[in-house]
């Protein structure tokens, strides 16, 4: 995983402050613009500035996710970290399981933790926004990776990011994926020097996991708010929460291109999406030449005749406008 880009912010020609400092997230006002600047077909990692206290003092680190179940949009993994003796800061901010809080309350807490000095001096955080495109390709490629594997790899990768940034981690608390005992044993093998606790409902038990949960949930919500459809889909289209039971999501999934299917917002590896395609999408057949036809191809000497009609390999061929307009790309692995 790559670290978040440090983008140069150019001054406004009228002398006003830019609407958002695109290189860093400093609250709600910069969260959406930062995410909108990323390619939503690819996953990315964002790491906040690291408070000096988090480098000097032993820290507790929490891990949680948002968006594991929906058929639409990214899954976001989040971590938060703070000195062990700064629990009062976590309490003051009002951390609780993000799923138990209203959207307005979650956003208020996220804004406070990124703007108030007492918070920025003792709390850091990071998220990985895992694109629906990457989720689908991981689950459908020849050597499949389950959603649990994608989740664990993301959590482990974020912990490594914190270590590389100099965070002095002493304790790690994780909201479980699968059986907590197996997950905890796996993490202990990778991070033997940390006290590690993996538990169900950790986001409602440990304040630092609640902080990670809020970072993940608010980031996912804003990723959906600023989603850019590259396939020509109406940008004002309503797609709902992404959960299969949501009537708005059901309506959105019922209307798609019968040849090319869904836009990249949809996790096409989900049975909800594949079942919808099975019912309405056109069947597509690909003809393969059999071995006899291949052997019968005309050749001259030891070279294939087709060689003389092939384009120069060094020539940069421009892809047809049809494919460029629909953002169709070659895939290296299926």
Q: Is 101 helix (H, G, I), strand (E, B) or coil?
A: coil
Q: Is 30 helix (H, G, I), strand (E, B) or coil?
A: helix
249-308 pLDDT per residue, tens: 888 888 876 667 788 898 888 777 777 777 776 777 766 655 555 555 544 455 555 554
Evaluate whether residue 93 is within a structural domain.
yes
Evaluated on CA atoms 93, 100, 127, 211, the torsion sign reads positive
Residues 206 and 182 in one domain: yes
Residues 115 and 144 in one domain: yes
Look up the domain containing 264 and give its range: 237-283
Evaluate whether residue 120 is within a structural domain.
yes
207-252 pLDDT per residue, tens: 999 999 999 999 999 999 999 988 877 778 888 888 878 899 888 8
Evaluate whether residue 263 is within a structural domain.
yes
Residues 220 and 98 in one domain: yes
Residues 130 and 88 in one domain: yes
Which candidate, 207, 194, 32, places its Cα nearest to that of 119? 207
**Are 140 and 334 within 8 A, CB to CB?**
yes
Tokens of 288: 């393969």
CA distance 276 to 296: 42
- CATH code at 160? 3.30.420.10
Query: How far is Cα of residue 108 from the mean position of the Cα atoms in its chain?
Result: 22
Residues 76 and 218 in one domain: yes
pLDDT of 72 over the 50 cut: yes
CA distance 34 to 46: 10
CA distance 75 to 269: 14
Evaluate whether residue 232 is within a structural domain.
no
CA distance 267 to 40: 13
Which candidate, 152, 200, 191, 145, places its Cα nearest to that of 172? 191
Report DSSP state, residue 72.
Answer: B
Residues 176 and 263 in one domain: no
**Are 267 and 132 within 8 A, CB to CB?**
yes
**Residues comprising the chain, all counted:** 334
The more confident residue out of 124 and 19 is 124
Residues 93 and 47 in one domain: yes
Residues 58 and 145 in one domain: yes
Residues 166 and 77 in one domain: yes
Q: Which long-range contacts (CB under 8 A, 24 or more apart) does 49-52 make?
A: 49/24, 49/120, 49/124, 50/124, 50/165, 50/166, 50/167, 51/120, 51/121, 51/122, 51/123, 51/124, 52/121
- CATH code at 255? 1.10.10
Report DSSP state, residue 255.
Answer: -
Question: pTM, whole model, 2 decimals?
Answer: 0.78
pLDDT of 15 over the 50 cut: no
Tokens of 257: 């291109």
Tokens of 298: 């005309």
Averaged pLDDT for residues 6-20: 41
> Residue 144 — left, alpha, or beta (φ > 0 → left; ψ -120 to 50 → alpha)?
beta
CB atoms within 10 A of CB 147: 18
What residues does 75 pair with on adjacent strands? 130
Residues 157 and 37 in one domain: yes
Evaluate whether residue 114 is within a structural domain.
yes
Annotated binding-site ranges:
64-65, 175
Phi, psi of 269 (to 5 degrees): -80, -10
Q: Which of the listed residues 191, 226, 261 is the one where a domain comes to its end?
A: 226
Evaluate whether residue 37 is within a structural domain.
yes
80-139 pLDDT per residue, tens: 999 999 999 999 999 976 667 899 999 999 999 999 999 999 999 999 999 999 999 888
51-61 pLDDT per residue, tens: 999 999 999 99
Tokens of 313: 């390999």
What residues does 129 pair with on adjacent strands? 44, 76
In the block, residue with structure tokens 């006002």: 29
Residues 86 and 63 in one domain: yes
**Element spanning 199, H or E:** strand 195-199
The pLDDT value given to residue 302: 53
Annotated binding-site ranges for a divalent metal cation:
64-65, 175
The pLDDT value given to residue 68: 92
Residues 43 and 181 in one domain: yes
Tokens of 100: 């138990």
């Amino acid at each position: 995983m790559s670290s978040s880009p440090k983008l140069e912010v150019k001054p406004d020609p009228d002398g006003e402050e830019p609407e958002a400092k695109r290189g860093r997230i400093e609250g709600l006002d910069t969260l959406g613009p930062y995410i909108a600047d990323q390619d939503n077909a690819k996953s990315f990692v964002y790491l906040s500035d690291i408070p000096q206290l988090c480098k000097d003092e032993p820290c507790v680190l929490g891990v949680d996710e948002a968006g594991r179940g929906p058929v639409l949009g990214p899954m976001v993994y989040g971590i938060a970290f703070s000195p062990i003796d700064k629990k009062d800061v976590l309490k003051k901010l009002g951390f609780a399981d993000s799923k138990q809080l209203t959207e307005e309350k979650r956003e208020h807490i996220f804004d406070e933790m990124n703007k108030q000095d007492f918070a920025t001096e003792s709390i850091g955080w990071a998220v990985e926004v895992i694109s629906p495109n990457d989720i689908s390709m991981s689950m459908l490629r020849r050597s499949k990776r389950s959603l649990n594997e994608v989740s664990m790899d993301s959590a482990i990768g974020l912990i490594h990011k914190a270590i590389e940034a100099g965070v002095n981690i002493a304790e790690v608390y994780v909201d479980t994926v699968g059986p907590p005992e197996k997950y905890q044993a796996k993490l202990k093998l990778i991070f033997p020097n940390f006290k590690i606790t993996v538990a169900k409902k950790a986001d409602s038990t440990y304040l630092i996991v609640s902080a990670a949960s809020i970072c993940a949930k608010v980031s996912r919500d804003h990723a959906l708010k600023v989603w850019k459809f590259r396939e020509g889909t109406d940008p004002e289209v309503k797609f709902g929460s992404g959960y299969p039971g949501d009537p708005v999501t059901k309506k959105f999934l019922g209307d798609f291109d019968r040849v090319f299917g869904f836009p990249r917002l949809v996790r096409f590896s989900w049975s909800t999406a594949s079942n919808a395609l099975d019912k309405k999408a056109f069947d597509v057949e690909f003809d393969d030449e059999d071995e006899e036809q291949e052997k019968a191809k005309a050749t001259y000497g030891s070279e294939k005749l087709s060689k003389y009609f092939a384009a120069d390999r060094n020539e940069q061929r421009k892809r047809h406008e049809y494919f460029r307009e629909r953002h169709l790309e070659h895939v290296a692995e299926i």
